Amino acid sequence: MANILLGATGSVAAVKVPAVVAGLAAAGHAVKVVATDAATYFFDPAPLREILTLDADEWPGDRYRRGDAVGHIELRKWADLFLIAPLDANTLAKLAVGLCDNALTCVWRAWDLSKPVILAPAMNTLMWEHPFTRKHLRAVGADFGATHVPGHLEGETLVRQINDRAKGLHVVPPISKRLACGDVGVGAMAEVPDVISAVSQVLSATAGSAESDPTVA
């Protein structure tokens, strides 16, 4: 199947990282994980250690020597698709402006834009509805060709516009439920089967585009 790089950020939805890994593996994909330090507050990294990259792996403490592998570049070369699930508000803001201060955002900044990415946001309802979130989603979408998305759009309408216009980017919208903080509203990461389904759909669409493009050998 495909090599899937799963990015995990510091949302409480990171508790689902092991389930996402299992779902991708069950679908026949090879999986590696790159996680922020905050993400590991919500899941035990030990069972995933062989496939997991953390900041301590990217910058292990020993001085870099010429010829040493550069972790985020090796992950980018390996992966066919970059799935960030969950994507918290903090990391979304970093993606929107190009900050790369951890292993995950370094992968994003060095990503080969000919390969697809999927984002599955997860955050508190008021964070999801905040104007900054809409601004950051539009900025990320614009990097993938989704320009001129009306500024007044929000929620699923905004996500649909980005998905319709972007090339190589797919956003899986959050869902409404009782959140871990006790609030009820939109912001929870999409259910794991829906995230896995989005991966399959994007890979199929990417393969179809490659087959129809006469410039692809």
Confirm whether 100 is a catalytic residue.
no
Active-site annotation holder among 113, 181, 184, 210? 181
Are 20 and 199 in contact by the 8 Å Cβ rule? The answer is no
Q: Which of 73, 83, 75 is nearest to 168 (CA)?
A: 83
- 123-132: buried (b, 16+ CB within 10 Å) or exposed (e) per residue? bbbebbeeee
Count Cβ atoms within 10 A of the Cβ of residue 28 and give its class: 0-12 exposed, 13-18 middle, 19 or more buried: exposed
Residue 135 to residues 42, 81, 151, 168, 178: CA-CA distances in angstroms? 27, 24, 8, 19, 25
Cβ burial of 109 (10 Å; 0-12, 13-18, 19+) is middle
- Whether a cis peptide bond, with omega within 30° of 0, leads into 86 is yes
Angle at which helices 131-143 and 89-97 cross, to 10°: 40
Question: Cα angle vertex 103, ends 101, 108, to 5°?
Answer: 85
Q: Which amino acids are annotated catalytic?
A: 181
